[in-house]
């Protein structure tokens, strides 16, 4: 993949070099190298259990690989320098698969906490920021509700509001449309794209929802669980026509040859 090596020295954006993911002796993925351009939406796709979420957890430093590099705007992600680490952390927002809203706090407190801990904003300004961030995701005026009182789609929106609380440069989404009906899921896709445009975010999404992939992705990578590495890289609209067989089958929702049928 020549085009990939050309991109390996991006000054802005994320570069992943020769990453190897494993749980103990079990190899998940290896030889992962790709670049993510600023202000684009990058989708990590693949069948269930191929290591998509594991890759995401490594990219946000919740898990550490024994081999390989992840570089954000020229800065190594894995560092022992506390200040550098905190600075980088501030620039990363995450929407977890289960939304992970802190269940003992109201929606407003959830969005406010990162600001209380990381900025010197006063209570009034934080309240204004919370109201603004909630309005951005379409939850205006819902500050005082508890996460458990919200519907699934609203929880995702609240999770998004918390993820963008510190105005990050990078937004990571783990299965954003999991458990949502097609209409809510489509609205969430539209919201993600609006946020990307308005806040100039780089969005990295893990998903296997085909409509989502085709709607939001500018660029993508396909993690294969047979060869344990990425076998395709590029715009999914192009991959669906020209990609390797397995990627085309995945993107067209077609059965793969019988010998490769995975146990579900």
Partner 1 sequence: MPAAFIVSVRETTSRLIAVETESGTPVVHLSGDWGRAVRPPSAAHVADTLDTGDQSRVVVDGAALDNAHPRVAAFVHALSQALGEVDVSLETRDLPSDVSALIALASPTPTATEQPRRPGLLARVGRRAGGQANTARNTANLVGHALALTPALISGRAQTRWRDFVELVRETGAASLPVVTVVNILIGAVLGFIGAVQLQTFGAGMYLADLVGIASAREMAAIMTAFIMAGRIGATFAAHLATMESNEEIDALRMIGVSPFEFLALPRLAALSLMMPLLFLYGATLAIVGGMIVAHIVLGTPPMAFVERLQDAMSVSEFVIGFVKSIAFGVLIALSSCYIGLNAGRNAAEVGRAATRTVVVCIIGIISIDAVAALCTNALGI
Q: Which is nearer to partner 1, 113 or 131 (CB)?
A: 113
If binding is defined by CB under 8 A, does position 118 make contact with partner 1?
yes
Q: Which is nearer to partner 1, 34 or 96 (CB)?
A: 96
Range in contact with partner 1 (rule: CB under 8 A) among 16-24, 40-48, 109-117, 185-193: 109-117
In angstroms, rounded to a whole number, what is the distance separating the alpha carbons of residues 166 and 93? Answer: 8
Residue 115 has, within 13 A of its CA and on its CB side, a CA count of: 24
Instruction: Please report where in the chains the tokens 């801990």 appear, as a residue.
Output: 117
Q: Which of 100, 146, 199, 210 binds partner 1 (CB under 8 A)?
A: 100
Q: List helix spans (H) across 200-253.
A: 210-216, 236-242, 245-252
Q: Quick check: 166 and 114 in contact, CB under 8 A? A: yes
In angstroms, rounded to a whole number, what is the distance separating the alpha carbons of residues 134 and 202? Answer: 20
Helix (H, G, I), strand (E, B) or coil at 195: helix
Q: Which of 21, 28, 59, 92 binds partner 1 (CB under 8 A)?
A: 92
Range in contact with partner 1 (rule: CB under 8 A) among 12-20, 112-120, 189-197, 241-249: 112-120
* Cβ neighbours around 218 below 10 Å, total: 19
Q: Which is nearer to partner 1, 62 or 140 (CB)?
A: 62
Query: Which residues contact partner 1 by CB under 8 A?
Result: 60, 62, 85-86, 89-90, 92, 94, 96-98, 100-104, 113-114, 117-118, 162, 166, 258-263
């Amino acid at each position: 993949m020549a085009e990939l090596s050309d991109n390996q020295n991006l000054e802005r954006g994320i570069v992943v070099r020769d990453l190897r993911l494993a749980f103990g002796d079990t190899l998940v993925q290896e030889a992962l190298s790709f670049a993510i351009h600023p202000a684009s939406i990058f989708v990590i796709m693949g069948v269930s259990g191929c290591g998509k979420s594991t890759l995401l957890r490594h990219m946000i430093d919740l898990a550490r690989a024994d081999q390989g590099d992840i570089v954000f705007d020229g800065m190594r992600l894995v560092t022992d320098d506390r200040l550098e680490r905190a600075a980088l952390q501030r620039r990363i927002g995450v929407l977890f698969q289960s939304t992970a809203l802190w269940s003992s706090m109201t929606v407003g407190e959830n969005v406010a906490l990162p600001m209380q801990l990381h900025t010197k904003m006063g209570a009034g300004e934080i309240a204004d920021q919370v109201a603004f961030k909630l309005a951005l995701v379409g939850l205006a005026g819902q500050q005082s509700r508890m996460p458990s009182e919200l519907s699934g789609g609203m929880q995702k929106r609240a999770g998004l509001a918390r993820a963008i609380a510190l105005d990050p440069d990078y937004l990571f989404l783990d299965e954003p449309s999991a458990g949502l009906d097609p209409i809510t899921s489509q609205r969430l896709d539209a919201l993600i794209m609006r946020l990307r445009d308005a806040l100039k975010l780089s969005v990295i999404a893990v998903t296997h929802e085909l409509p989502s992939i085709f709607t939001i992705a500018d660029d993508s990578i396909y993690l294969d669980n047979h060869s344990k590495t990425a076998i395709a890289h590029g715009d999914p609209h192009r991959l669906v026509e020209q990609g390797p067989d397995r990627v085309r089958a995945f993107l067209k929702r077609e059965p793969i040859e019988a010998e490769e049928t995975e146990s579900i």
